[in-house]
Structure 1
Amino acid sequence: MLSNGGGGRFYWARNQSLYTGKLKGIVVIFAWVSIQEIHLKNYVNLYSSLGWNSLVCLSDFLNPFFPERATSLAFALLNELVEELKIRPCPLVLAAFSGGSKACMYKIFQVIEGACEAQLSQDDTRLIRNCISGHIYDSSPVDFTSDLGAQFTLHPTIRRIPGSAKLVSLIAKGVGSGLDALFLTRFGSHRTEYWQTLYSSVSLGGPFLILCSENDDLAPYSVICSFAQRLQDLGGNVKFVKWNGSPHVGHYKHYPIQYRAAVTELLEHAVSVYSQKIQGLGERSAMEGMHDQISELICDLQNAAVNSNQSFRRVAQGPNDHFFLPSSAEYSSNKESGSLQDEQKGPAPPSMSAHTLLGQILFDACVPKNIEGWDIKFCGSLNGQPLASAQKRSPLNPIKRICRSKL
């Protein structure tokens, strides 16, 4: 199924004959004019044999010169991924080939980070971030300098034309140099933004696999090596694989066994990273749920405290109001307290139930359980009623007791 977006096109690809088991994830392939679409089938077959589906993104040649075209393509691609991941969330690995990192992929990162005018919803952005679990750079990233057009305008098929290749090469270089000169003033700011965005992808998590060759004339080894070192300095998990005899985007063709082993390891690691992310999200959700329960409990306790304070303010407001301390089981059988209540006339005074949790706590805290050995004497009155004060009596010396009796 082919979908068109401003600045390029993308489609789903999978060779079901190579793998019949359950799909493990999705590899998004970012390609540019420097790699033929037929050549991409080899990578689609590789990922399919390992149990991964492929979403192939083919960017237009002008995307590096017109970032808004790259943004439009990236936004359409993200919407396609969101629809798929909502149905079946799975690990997501981003694979950039040659200039695909500049023609579209870095705009994917900017949209996710909210650095573009095109915006996804917070839920969709969170879904994409949680699924991204790995990164692959094959002959990439390419440093976009002022001679970019002259380097990439000459298509590989044109180079292989005998005889007339020299004339065609001159025409292609002239067109490319004209584009570079036209956008030279914009290349400086775009180049800085491009590299900073690629470095920021470390925050998305997942391992990095960087595949390059010392003989690559379009993606210099020194540039890619510096990129890998910078990712490591930022905390990225980087595996750097270097060959000597492979051309630009030709590593899999020349070293299929080593290439397949490196990709297999990266994809397995991506599955592990995705599982850890999902587990972390589950634990975070559980903690948030516990926090909500604690917050509700605190609110209930605060409301109970407010209601209790209001009840205490109503106690002893008038001369006939009394505060009855709640008691334990003896409260119901205490005859004296019963007689006092019988003598009390008028509306029943506000009181607290002894059978409530708060009443039991107040009774245990305020009423002594053992009053033997206490001196009870009256020391005043409140509203015409005598008040009794109690003071615990310590054991006295027998001699002092005799002296007191003589007095």
Structure 2
Amino acid sequence: MLLFPRSAVMTASVRRFNFQKVSKNMELIRASTPLEGQAMKAGAEVVGEAAVGAIRPLVVMLPWLLAKRHHVLKYARLYTDRGLDVLAVRSHPGHLLRPAKGSQLVATELLGYLKNLPGQAPLMLHGFSVGGYLWGEALVQLAKDPSLLSVLSRRVVGQVWDSAVELSEAPAGLARSVFPRSQMLQGFVQKFISTYLSAFREQATRHYELSSQYFHGKPLLSPALLLLSRSDPIGTVSANERLIENWKKAGVPTQVKIWDGSPHVGHFRMYRSEYEEQVVMFLKRLGLGNA
């Protein structure tokens, strides 16, 4: 039995954070301080040190498609409770379907923000599902900006990838995910997606392929933690094993945690304590926060 209405619980959870809208697709999330809380209660705008704060380590979080804010906050707390800020970069299906007018523009926004970020505080990545594709688009653009690439190569000290998707395997995986009990419907969905990828090769598919090439072959060399499930039909273990092999060849120190039974981007929900332990141990190895 709930002691409080669900809406009250969610409101209390949101009050733990301070939000700053950076752009249409990006939001800065910080732990709410007592001073910020008092100003919010008084209806005042938080200014000065309370609003800007000391330059703290920043986690660039790349959620899955259509992730809601309350979903993102569950993961953001892993970092804000330990003294890190989180920049949530959201994606929706339209960004994926039209990369040149969607995902690539979001990647440009993200890199512009990072380029103008003051100070030298360390950065981290935590991506989910197609967040890997979005970061691949960012890597494509970074290759054309050597100075920014050099800066981020120094400042990005770690990366966590949860259920990273290889888009070449997406048709079969999505079909099994949507219709797990019907092979006939799986075949229909798989054929539909494959037809789309073929018909819109210039507008979409070639961008997916280039992003994948950079994500696999030209990554930042900071240590990586991959979080997977053998039951995930979309971010498959086999695809991520190829990613691990490529990253190790490139010189990325890579470790992996594989669960059984959890669905796509569902590891935290099913194995919360283990998931948190993996992230906290990773932060300790990087020397970040008060983990």
TM-score normalized by structure 1? 0.52
5+ long unaligned stretches in structure 2: 1-19, 35-52, 180-185
- Which one of the candidate residues 270, 279, 282 is aligned to 1:254? 270
SS of 1:29's partner is: strand
Residues 175 and 189, structure 2, Cα contact 8 Å, conserved in 1: no
1:97 partnered with 2:97: no
Matched residue of 2:255: which SS? strand
Aligned pairs for 1:8-407 within 5 A: 9-16=25-32, 24-33=56-65, 35-68=67-100, 69-84=102-117, 86=118, 88-102=119-133, 104-114=134-144, 120=145, 123-145=147-169, 147=171, 151=175, 179-184=196-201, 189-202=206-219, 204-271=220-287
Q: 1:177: how far off?
A: 6.6
Q: Evaluate the alpha carbon distance shift between residue 128 and residue 231 of structure 1 in structure 2; reply closer, same or farther with a 3 A threshold.
A: closer
Return the letter of the residue paired with 1:256. Answer: R
Looking at structure 2, the residues matched to 36 and 172 of structure 1 have their Cα atoms a distance apart, in angstroms, of 25
Work out whether residues 198 and 205 of structure 2, in 8 Å CA contact, stay in contact via their aligned partners in 1: no
Residues 66 and 92 of structure 1, relative CA distance in 2, 3 Å threshold: same
Single out whichever of 208-217 and 66-75 deviates more from structure 2. 66-75
* Contact kept in structure 1, 2:177 and 2:234, CA below 8 Å: no
Q: SS of 1:64's equivalent?
A: helix
TM-superposed CA distance for 1:257, in Å, is 2.0
Q: Which has the higher contact order (CA 8 A, sep 6+)?
A: 2
3-state DSSP of counterpart to 1:259: helix
- Counterpart of 1:368? none
Rounded to whole Å, the distance in 2 between the matches of 1:109 and 1:61 is: 20
Measured after TM superposition, the shift of residue 56 of structure 1 is 0.3
Alpha-carbon distance between aligned partners in 1 of 2:284 and 2:82, rounded to the nearest angstrom: 9
How many angstroms does 1:229 deviate by?
A: 2.3
Instruction: Sort the Cα spacing of 1:271 and 1:263 in 2 relative to 1 into closer, same or farther, 3 A.
Output: same
- Relative distance call for 1:218 and 1:17 in structure 2 (3 A) is farther
Cα 1:177–1:110, aligned 2, differ >3 Å: closer, same or farther?
closer
| Percentage identity across paired residues of the two chains | 21
Aligned-residue offset at 1:108? 1.5
Q: How many residues align?
A: 245
**Deviation string for 1:118-162 (max 9, x for gaps)?**
xx5x654433332111111101133344728965996xxxx9xxx
| Aligned alpha-carbon RMSD (Å) | 3.5
In the alignment, residue 105 of structure 2 is paired with which amino acid? S
Q: Residues 28 and 184 (structure 1 numbering): CA distance in 2 closer, same or farther, change over 3 Å?
A: same
Q: For 1:60, give the aligned amino acid.
A: H
Q: Which residue of 2 aligns with 1:4?
A: 23
SS of the aligned residue for 1:74 comes to helix
CA change 1:93–1:141 in 2 (3 A) is farther
Q: Deviation at 1:76?
A: 1.1
Q: Secondary structure at the match of 2:157?
A: strand
Tell me the secondary structure at the aligned position of residue 234 of structure 2. coil
In the TM superposition, residue 187 of structure 1 has moved relative to its aligned partner by 6.2
1:266 is displaced (CA, Å) by 2.1
Native 8 Å contact 1:145 1:187 kept in 2: no
Q: Could you state the TM-score of these two structures normalised by the residue count of structure 2?
A: 0.71
Q: How far apart, in 1, do the equivalents of 2:271 and 2:109 lie?
A: 34
Deviations 1:68-117 (A, max 9, x none): 22221111111112222x2x221111111011111x21121122221xxx
- Partner Cα separation in structure 1 for residue 109 and residue 92 of structure 2: 14
Tell me, in whole angstroms, the C-alpha distance in 2 between the residues paired with 1:139 and 1:197.
18
Structure 1 residues 36, 180: CA separation in 2 closer, same or farther (over 3 Å shift)? Answer: farther
Q: Distance in 2 between matches of 1:246 and 1:198?
A: 24
Instruction: Give the letter for the 1:210 counterpart.
Output: L
Cα distance, 1:3 vs structure 2: 3.6
Could you tell me how far apart the structure 1 residues matched to 2:71 and 2:170 are? 28
Amino acid at match of 1:4: S
In structure 2, relative to structure 1, the CA distance for the partners of 1:141 and 1:267 (3 Å cut) is farther
